[in-house]
Structure 1
């Protein structure tokens, strides 16, 4: 099984935390204003061929 590390980057309010929560099953807080997510978080999920760390 391959290990991958993927970083989510983008503009404010573009859905990065929502995508992170959906893929990892986390429950990070989201809001409709810039600067809500300011800490680095890591989460993991697996596919049939990969172990993925999402940053």
Structure 2
């Protein structure tokens, strides 16, 4: 494909790095959904306890 083994590795390495980063980002987003509407950043206004969650 790219010729020598070194060039092949240098071409595939960024793709593998992107895939690993994308996977870790999705896992972090999944973990942070546990804290939605429970922190000051994502909190709801006072008196809205009876309403459905914001998401």
Same topology, TM > 0.5: no
Q: Which has the higher helix share?
A: 2
Which structure: larger Rg?
2
- Name which structure has the greater RCO, CA cutoff 8 Å, separation 6+: 1
TM range (shorter): under 0.3
Give the TM-score, by structure 1 length.
Answer: 0.24
Give the TM-score, by structure 2 length.
Answer: 0.24
